[in-house]
Chains A and B, each alone.
Chain A
Amino acid sequence: MLEEFADLEREYRAFADEHVAPHAALIDREECIPTEVVEALRNAGLFATGFPSRDQDPIAANLRHGLVHEALGFASASVQGLVNVHHMAGSAIARWGSPAQKEHWVPRLASGEVKAALAITEPNVGSDAAAVETRAVVDGDAWLLRGAKCWITYGQNADLFVLLAATEQGGTAFLVPRRSANLHIEPIRGVLGCRGYMLARLHLDGVRLSSEHLLGKPGFGLTHVMATGLESGRYNLAWGCVGLARACLDASLEYAHERRQFGAPLASFQLVQQMIARMMTEVHAARLVCWHAGVLRARRDPSAIKEATMAKYYASTVVNRVAHDTLQIHGANGCGSGSPIERYVRDARIMEIIEGSTQVLELAIARYGYQERG
């Protein structure tokens, strides 16, 4: 790794070790991210990395951004998720917002003054986002939105939602402030993993929005606005998965050396060595796929969309294999609620479901393959 990025990696890891990791167990137990963690993220400028900067080389900016998500994923998958959805929503606004929208929202989002979330999923709509049932109709000089969203990460606290609704022209994106009249937010608790995502259902019971809240043009909400957010999310989450996988690997290496069975450290047993070797190689490979995706994103290469998809697909499956082996190495000592290992396993499982399930990504990657074959 270039020394510049090694320094950044150390810097972000140190931040996450000091400000995030100590809260990780509590976040999981209480299903809530403390305000002090969010403030620390803000003070460290970590909300800003997902936004364009004229001062930075694009490749450096993309890799720096990836390293932020890796460090957060290492410390707490829940906190990585918060920053991820903020960057997903923010990237859609930064890319497709009108000049006035960008001027108003981007500085506030980059500073963390405003926290944003993406709202696509509904009770009846998951992978098939084109089928959203939330409707937006023209009502005089405004839009009237009715419907429901669910599983919205950071929905309990976000100040602003980038929300997909169906209109006569097709999927359309709207900026929906949290304080909109007739928007009701209902927390979701008791999920399997990533319990600090602060999930919520959104009930839009006649939310009236002026045309200034339209993001992009009607009919381009899914294909362009949300697609931008989802591409960002896949890139971010892939790095987050690498971080979580590295946490698993570090725990496995440490435990394999300290734990003795049959009169010898676990590290001396060849089947444990096999698991460690597989973990090390896969984590390293996942990181390189993320790295490559970051370079292509910076170059605005059309294949960057494919690379981010492959990065998320690969890293999310790697982290599940790594978490599985980590639990095998720890045995019963990894299963108790006092151990981070059982949390790693639960959090890893979520990674194959969000920002495109493994199976949906497999379909997409295969389509890329057929496309390239010509």
Chain B
Amino acid sequence: MAENIAVPIREFVTRSFSGQQLADEDDMFALGFATSLFAMQLVAFVEKQFGVEVDSDDLDIDNFRSVRAIAGLVERKLAA
């Protein structure tokens, strides 16, 4: 996981969850932090921050459940 990708994602997640510190592997959905509101904000953040487009093929919970998962999605989108 590239730090230049992970850092802004960590910051966004921490800010979104009122400063809650999560490990990169923590499942935000299983822990109950992620809401439907957060889900859309996350998509908008990823697209704006990294200049990629999240489309219907990316709609897989494994792409969004943790900081590491989101970073992996971004890395794959940037490499495509």
A97 at the interface (CB under 8 A from B): yes
Contact B59 A217 (CB under 8 A): yes
Contact with A along B24-48 (1 / 0, CB 8 A): 0000000000011101110111011
Main secondary structure of the interface of A (DSSP, over half): helix
Given contacts A371-B15, A373-B18, is CB(A305)–CB(B37) below 8 Å? Answer: yes
Given contacts A96-B59, A217-B59, is CB(A224)–CB(B44) below 8 Å? Answer: no
B3 at the interface (CB under 8 A from A): no
Contact of A301 among B15, B44, B55 (CB under 8 A): B44
Interface size on B, residues (CB 8 A): 23
Give chain B residues whose Cβ lies under 8 Å from the Cβ of A111: none
Instruction: Give the distance in Å from the alpha carbon of A178 to the alpha carbon of B37 in the complex.
Output: 30
Number of interchain pairs (Cβ within 8 Å)? 58
Contact B60 A217 (CB under 8 A): yes
Instruction: Give the distance in Å from the alpha carbon of A227 to the alpha carbon of B35 in the complex.
Output: 12
Give chain B residues whose Cβ lies under 8 Å from the Cβ of A224: 39-40, 43, 59
Contact A299 B56 (CB under 8 A): no
Give chain A residues whose Cβ lies under 8 Å from the Cβ of B61: 219
Given contacts A300-B48, A302-B48, A371-B18, is CB(A216)–CB(B40) below 8 Å? Answer: no
Give chain B residues whose Cβ lies under 8 Å from the Cβ of A130: 36
Q: What is the minimal beta-carbon distance from B29 to any residue of chain A, in angstroms?
A: 10
Instruction: Give the distance in Å from the alpha carbon of A224 to the alpha carbon of B40 in the complex.
Output: 6
Q: Which of A224, A299, A305 has the most CB of B within 10 A?
A: A224
Give chain A residues whose Cβ lies under 8 Å from the Cβ of B45: 302
Give chain B residues whose Cβ lies under 8 Å from the Cβ of A220: 59
Contact of B40 among A217, A228, A370, A373 (CB under 8 A): A228
A98 at the interface (CB under 8 A from B): yes
A231 at the interface (CB under 8 A from B): yes
Give chain B residues whose Cβ lies under 8 Å from the Cβ of A97: 56
Contact B59 A304 (CB under 8 A): no
Report A301-343 residues with CB < 8 Å from chain B CB: 301-302, 304-305
Contact of A374 among B18, B48, B60 (CB under 8 A): B18
A222 at the interface (CB under 8 A from B): yes
A364 at the interface (CB under 8 A from B): yes
Provide a sorted-by-A list of 6 A–B residue pairs whose CB atoms are within 8 angstroms.
Answer: A96-B55, A224-B39, A227-B37, A302-B48, A305-B37, A371-B18
User: Which 6 A-B pairs give the minimum distances between C-beta atoms?
Assistant: A217-B59, A302-B44, A223-B39, A223-B36, A220-B59, A302-B45
